[in-house]
Amino acid sequence: MSHPGAAAAALATDPSPPSPSPPPPAPPPVVEWPEGGVLTRDWVAALESTLDWCSRHLPADRLPTLFPSALVQRLVLAAAAILHREPNLVRVDPRPGQSVVVVGDLHGQLHDVIFLLRDAGFPSEERIFVFNGDYVDRGAWGLESLLLLLAWKVLLPNCVFLLRGNHESKYCTLVYGFEQEVMAKYKDQGPQVYRKFLRCFEDLPLATIIAGCVYTAHGGIFRGTIVLPSKRSKKGKKGRKNKADFAVDPTSMRLGSLDELLKARRTVLDPPWEGQNLIPGDVLWSDPSLEMGLSPNNERGIGLLWGPDITQQFLRTNNLKLIIRSHEGPDARDKRHDLLGMDKGYTIDHEVECGKLITLFSAPDYPQFQASEERYNNCGAYIVLSSPDFATPVFHSFEAVKPRPPAHPFYDFEDVIDSDEELNLDAMDSGTSSQ
């Protein structure tokens, strides 16, 4: 074993000057859309390498020199066209020999995303990936992280499934950094690029069912839609009927059905927290609790809290064995003393007769930018599901890639509430479509 003191003594007696630092590696070529318009594994691998290099060696506003705005928009539109055709609830039915990797929140931590893909094994015909959302915000490389995953989606649309998280919304990206990140990196083209991402967010599905027995979604379960027709207004002109107004009965709250989930309108910039289209907001924002029953999630101001009895009811009604949701990192769990912390990147929150409820978080050492000196130092994790029993999860925890390249935050992390609590609901879009 070498000793630091011996090395210092050798330097003291050696008159030769120190060796100069090696020059930085040469930049990769500018990314171009593949000839013929068909992505390949080599193209995606080169994209990953370029994005990694840019994050380490280029200022943020120099990214377009290697990844032009036109290419970003083309990739986003290509992925959005695929996502748009998928239903709200995607059925993922592995063939014999296929395994499924489930991934939780990523939050713009590009180097941890790259490590996860390599550690789990890249998507392939033998390995399906299901991502539970929250690709952007808080971390410095949300744009790069999401572009890499969109490229995998275009390459392998039947083996990579990208779900929406609550941060894939206009409100969250304005507050937690992604909008400013896009503007900083793409300057004059930023507004156009940002709008393309917002439209892509609207196309992201809400949930999956894997192998007929595992339900995954970002936040979790959802209430049923109960609407009561109000009195019809008088008929209008001949041949024209005035639509009835509908209002949600505030005293009724029941568990929603998968059929209702399939019929919900997901093309909203910000899932509404009131009105009749509540299912998207519930799926993206709800949290488990140890208290029985369904109740409004007053802490967040949107979504639900649900107890072990509701988990049991959801599993039994839909003939499922496992729920895998995400949405809560170490900061959120630090404020919730009724549930376990997120040190390992996952928790088992409910164990009931029909199965389990798991929270999965895949961003280690989160958040990247933190106001307090004491960090959570949490691990991230992913889950592997395999035959013959896809309802038996295998957990893989991992530490953050260190050191992270120097980077500046794109939001005021010292003033923003870390766990998405106390939302400014008045500032949220009332479900207005961007299209």
* 167 catalytically annotated: yes
Q: Across 54-135, where does the E strand assignment appear? A: 89-92, 99-103, 127-131
* CA distances for 264 relative to 42, 230, 428, angstroms: 38, 21, 19
CA 412, 415, 421, 423 torsion-angle sign: negative
Beta bridge partners of 305: 287, 295
Cβ atoms of 138 and 107 closer than 8 Å: yes
Sheet holding 160-162, edge to edge: 160-162, 127-131, 99-103, 380-385, 394-398
Strands 346-352 and 355-360: antiparallel
Cα separation of 9 and 11, whole Å?
A: 5
Structure tokens at 402: 């260190």
User: Residue 308, Cα to own-chain centre: how many angstroms?
Assistant: 25
Residue 296: phi, psi to the nearest 5? -65, 145
Cα separation of 275 and 248, whole Å?
A: 6
Nearest C-alpha neighbor of 330 from the set 317, 319, 314, 341: 341
Set 107, 111, 167, 350: catalytic member: 167
Show Cβ contacts of residue 35 under 8 Å, excluding neighbours closer than 6 positions: none
Q: Which residues are catalytic?
A: 167
